[in-house]
Structure 1
Amino acid sequence: MSFGSVLATTAVPVTVGPYHYVPTEWICILFVVLYSISTVLHLGQALKYRLWWMIPTATFAGILEILGWSARLWSSRSPKLLTPYEMQIVGTIIAPTPLVAANFIILGRIIGQVGPQFSRLTPRLYTIVFCCFDIVCLIVQAVGGASAAHAANTKTSASMGANIMLGGIAAQLFAIVLYVALASETLLRLRYDMPFRYVEQPRMLEKGQRAVSKKLRLMIYGMAFCTLCIFIRSVYRTIELANGWNGPVISTERYFDWLDGGMVTLAIYTLNFFHPGIFVKKDNPMAYDSQQSIDEASSA
C-alpha cells in the first residue's frame, strides 16, 4: 500500500459535508440524553403542578433540541447528507424561543405576587406583549431555517435564509434585553419601595417589609441565570450567522457545542431545578395577596 493511499484512509478532510466538519458522535449522544431527561422532567413537573403553559414552552423547547441533536447524531455517521443538516438547522435555531417565553410568563406571575404597582407593565401585559413578540421571532427563525435548509441548492437562498434567521435572533436578543431592563427596574422599585403607579389593595405592606419570600428570591435567581445562558447563546448565533455559512465561527464545532448546546442545556435544567411550580405560589398566581406576603416576609 502506497503512502498516498494510507493518508487517504486515515485523514478526514475538515470540509467534509455542509458543516465543514464531522459532528462528534459521543457529544451528540450526550446532548440527546441530557435534553431527553430534562424534557421528561418538564413534562412530569407540568402535569404534577398543573402548569399547562410549561408544556408548549419548556417541554416543547426540549423536544426541538432532541430533534436537532438527533439530526446532528445522524450527521456524525453520514456527514454528507443534507436532510439531517437541514433538520438540525431548524431544530437548534428555534428551540430556545419557547424557553424564553416560559421566562416571560414566570416574570408576569412573580410581578402579580410582589405587586403590579412596581412594574411598568401589568402581569397580563408581560405575557401578552413578550409572548406575542416571541411567537413572531419563532416564525421568522423557522422561515429562515427552512429557507437556509436549501443551502446546497443555490447560494442566494442560503444567504437569504441566513439573513432571515439573523433578523429573528437579533429581534429575540432585543426582546431579552428589554425584558431584563423592565424586570430589573421592577425589582429595584420593589426594593426601594418606589411604586410606578397606585394600585388599590385591601391590605398594603407596611413600610420596610418585602413581598419577596425566600422561594421567590430563588426563582428570580434561577430566571436570571437561565436568561443569561440564553442571552450568551443568542449572541453566539448572531455572530455565527453574521459571518456567513463558510465563516470561521460556524465551521468550528466546539463553539457550537459549548455556546449553543451547553448554554441551552444549562438554561433548560435551571427551570427544572428552579421550577415555578415549586418556587411560585400555585394559588391564583396573578393575584397580589398582601397579607400572605407579609407573613412570608416575617418568617423569612
Structure 2
Amino acid sequence: MVQVVCLDPHDPNNNFMYCPSFPAAILFSVLFGLTTIVHLIQAIHYGKRFLWVCIMAAIWETGGLVLRSLAVLHPTSETFGTSSQLLILLAPIWINAFLYMLMSRFVYFFIPERRVAGISAQRLSLCFVLLDITSFLMQAAGGSMINPSNSAEAQMRGIHIYMGGIGLQQFFILGFVGLVVRFHYKMLSLDGSEEWKRPLYAMYASLLLITIRIVYRLIEFSSGIYSPLTMHEAPFYCLEATPMFCALLLWNVCHPGQILVGPDSEFPKKVKKSKRGEKEFVPLVPASSPPYAFK
C-alpha cells in the first residue's frame, strides 16, 4: 500500500495545498499515456508530419501527470513539483498549435482558392503559431515563478505573468474562432461532400474545452495563492486534466488523417536546388491539378 504523506498546506516546502490523491494521479497518467500511444500509432499509419504537435501535447500531459504522481509520493521534492506544474500548465498550448495547423490544412484542402477571410492557408498557420509561441513564452516565464520555494511576492508576480499569457492565449482563440466560423460558412456554400463537418465540430469542441480550462486557471489564480480552488484537488482534475484528456481523445476518434487524404492534404514544399544552385519550388502536384474542392 502506497503511503501518501499529507503536509501542512502552508508549509513552503510542500508542493500541494491539500492532501493529494495518488490513485487519481496514476489514473490520469494512464489515460494520457494511452491516448499518446494511440496518437503515435495513428501518426505512423496516416503519415501526416504535422501530427507531431498533437503528439507533443499528449507527451507533455502524460509527463506532467507522471511527475505529479511522483510529487504526491515526495511532496517536498521541488524537482517533481515544479517540473510537473510546468508541463501541465504549458501542454494545452501544443493543442492550440495543433488546431491552428489543422485549420490551415482544412482551408488548403477544401477551399478552391485556398484562403479564408482573405488569409492564405500557409499564412494562417504561420501567424497563429507565432502568436501561440508568444503566449507560450509568457506562460513559461510566469509558471516557472509559481514555486513554493519562492517568496509570496515572487509567486504573485509569476501568477500575474502567467495570467497575462493565458489571457493572450484566449484572445487569440477568439480571433481564431472567427476564422473557423468563416470557414464553416464558406463550406456550407459549396456543393459537395459533408465529410468535413465531423472534424470541424471536433475542432469547435476542442476550442471549448481549452476555453473551459483557461477560465478555470484565470479564476484560480485571480484569487491569489490560497483560494477555494487552489486548496482543493477536485477542481484540478475536473477543470484541467479532464478537459485536456477529452480534447486529445476527440482527435483519436475524429482523426484528421481520415479525411486529409491525397496530395492536396499537405502544403507544397521547397525540396531541391537546380543545377546552378538556385532553389526551385517543387509542388506536390502539377500546377494544373485542381484542389480537393468541389469541382
The two structures have a TM-score, normalised by structure 1, of 0.81
Q: Per the alignment, do residues 178 and 291 of structure 1 end up closer, same or farther by CA in structure 2, a change over 3 Å counting? A: closer
Letter in 2 for 1:215: E
Count of residues paired in the alignment: 266
Larger helix percent: 1
Task: Give every structure 1 segment of 4 or more consecutive aligned residues whose post-TM-superposition deviation is greater than 4 Å.
Answer: 11-14, 286-292
Pair 1:52-2:52 in alignment: no
Q: How far 1:260 sits from its partner (Å)?
A: 0.3
Query: 5+ residue gaps in structure 1?
Result: 1-10, 194-208, 296-300
d(CA) in 1 for partners of 2:215, 2:203: 18
d(CA) in 1 for partners of 2:82, 2:201: 36
Q: Per the alignment, do residues 257 and 222 of structure 1 end up closer, same or farther by CA in structure 2, a change over 3 Å counting? A: same
d(CA) in 2 for partners of 1:210, 1:240: 46
Aligned to 1:86, which of 72, 82, 92? 82
Pair 1:210-2:191 in alignment: yes
1:7 maps to none
After superposition, the C-alpha distances for 1:9-59 in whole angstroms (9 at most, x for unaligned) are xx956726342112211111111111111111112222222212211x111
Aligned to 2:126, which of 114, 125, 128? 128
Q: How far 1:291 sits from its partner (Å)?
A: 7.8
1:31 maps to 28
2:252 maps to 272
Q: How far 1:119 sits from its partner (Å)?
A: 3.0
Letter in 1 for 2:255: H
Q: How far 1:145 sits from its partner (Å)?
A: 1.5
2:294 maps to 294
Q: How far 1:282 sits from its partner (Å)?
A: 3.6
1:255 maps to 235
Q: How far 1:123 sits from its partner (Å)?
A: 0.8
1:204 maps to none
1:174 maps to 171
Letter in 1 for 2:117: S
Q: How far 1:223 sits from its partner (Å)?
A: 1.2
Query: 5+ residue gaps in structure 2?
Result: 268-286
2:139 maps to 141
d(CA) in 2 for partners of 1:248, 1:49: 45
Where does 1:214-233 land on structure 2 (aligned, <5 Å)? Answer: 214-233=194-213
d(CA) in 1 for partners of 2:86, 2:246: 20
After superposition, the C-alpha distances for 1:96-132 in whole angstroms (9 at most, x for unaligned) are 1111111111111111123235533211111001011
Q: How far 1:256 sits from its partner (Å)?
A: 0.5
Letter in 2 for 1:294: F
Q: How far 1:292 sits from its partner (Å)?
A: 5.0
Asked if the contact 1:36/1:66 (under 8 Å) is kept, the reply is yes
Asked if the contact 1:22/1:75 (under 8 Å) is kept, the reply is no
Asked if the contact 1:119/1:185 (under 8 Å) is kept, the reply is yes
Pair 1:165-2:153 in alignment: no
1:43 maps to 40
Asked if the contact 2:25/2:66 (under 8 Å) is kept, the reply is yes
Q: Match of 2:195, SS?
A: helix
| CA-atom RMSD in angstroms | 2.3
The two structures have a TM-score, normalised by structure 2, of 0.83
Asked if the contact 2:97/2:128 (under 8 Å) is kept, the reply is yes
